[in-house]
Chains A and B, each alone.
Chain A
Amino acid sequence: MMFEGMKAYKTADGHVQLFRPDMNIARMVRTNERMCIPELPGDLFLAAVKAVIWEDRDWIPSSPGTALYIRPFIFGDEVSFSVLPAKHYRFMIILTPTGSYYAANDGGLSTTRIFVQDTYIRAARGGTGYAKVGGNYGGGMRASLDAMKYNCKDVLWLDAAENKYVEEIGTSNAFFRINDEVITAPLDSGTILPGITRNSVIQLLKKWGVKVSERKLSIDEIIAASKDGTLQEIFASGTAAVISPIGCLNYKGTDYKVADEKVGPVAQKLYDTIYGMQTGKVEDDMGWTYKLF
């Protein structure tokens, strides 16, 4: 089973728009190729999204922090026990009106606690980490339950080979601002989901003149930065949460607080800009929004 995640936003002037749907289509193509799922034309995908949203357009919320979450998915539907690619598949889309993923009571941003997972892994080189498939998430459930024991909302995954380098935060991509450099894990290992918000964050930071690097970053480097005061911000990026600031890392039983658990300025600016573009409150000078109707 593969799936995608995207949102429809209602703008102040009553239009409904998507955010970078071409990126969802490109990722779906890569996932389907990896999972032996037949190719689905991108224009059919987009037309189906538009058609179902039109029918349920009255369900699109408009309060701050809200959107209509869109879940397209494809699954093999033949009756078989064989461990072989299916011969028949179904493509479906369901919709859910959502609020902020990790919201403060006023709908704005709040920080979360994250558990550094050094027992289980999310993805290994040559696996399906870069693809949007259910198994990547199913395998993370045990780790998420462990994180809850430490009062953490999610996990920071380390790499499978050395259990040393940071990869993703739960279902989101991870960014670390250390000494005015924003660092995120590179995609070349094939273990990182190429997030659409991740790509948008990198492009915006470059546009703003912020030093941004896609490179390996070890958990030891992060802990050292926390101890010497150069760890300025950690945040996660994803469709559901947009930008989710991290206020504390729990690693091997010790809490490492980030910026006194306050929302950092880069995370806040990114959220305001991206969510502002998505809802039409900020001019989209990147050409990322797609008006549905």
Chain B
Amino acid sequence: MDYNFPVIRTTHPKPRPEDESKLGFAKYFTDHMFPTPPLRSSLPPVCCTTRR
């Protein structure tokens, strides 16, 4: 299946780290992320103590 995701680009891109020898692990995060709208569970409805 082809997916055509809408893209909202940041208007304030961050400077990228210049020295790749100091990247470490999970110290820097890129400009964009992928979020889905809520995915509905295929499980049957359940009773909740708190509702939206």
Name A residues whose Cβ lies closer than 8 Å to a Cβ of B.
36-41, 43-44, 47-49, 51-52, 55-56, 58-59, 61-63, 66, 68-69, 72, 74, 77-82, 84-99, 101, 107, 240
Contact = CB atoms under 8 A, between A and B. Distances in A.
Given A66-B23, A79-B52, A93 B34 contact: yes
B42 interface: yes
What's the interface size class on B, roughly? 35 or more
B32 A80 contact: no
A98 B38 contact: no
Given A49-B34, A56-B30, A61-B23, 6 more contacts: A55-B9, A55-B31, A80-B51, A87-B43, A89-B39, A99-B21
26 contacts: A37-B41, A38-B43, A41-B1, A48-B34, A48-B36, A52-B34, A58-B16, A59-B30, A68-B30, A69-B25, A80-B49, A84-B47, A85-B43, A87-B40, A87-B48, A89-B39, A90-B37, A90-B39, A93-B33, A94-B33, A95-B29, A96-B25, A96-B30, A97-B30, A99-B20, A99-B25
Contacts, number: 138
A98 B25 contact: yes
Given A44-B3, A48-B5, A69-B26, A63 B40 contact: no
Contacts of B39: 38, 40, 74, 88-91
A69 B27 CA distance: 11
B22 interface: yes
A66 B34 CA distance: 22
A91 B23 CA distance: 26
Contacts of A90: 35-39
A51 B50 contact: no
A81 B50 contact: yes
A85 B30 CA distance: 31
A38 B40 contact: yes
B4 to A, nearest CB: 9
Contacts of B29: 94-96
B34 A98 contact: no
Nearest to B35: A92
A36 B50 contact: no
Given A43-B1, A55-B7, A84-B46, A99 B41 contact: no
B42 A82 contact: no
Contact of B16 (A36, A59, A74): A59
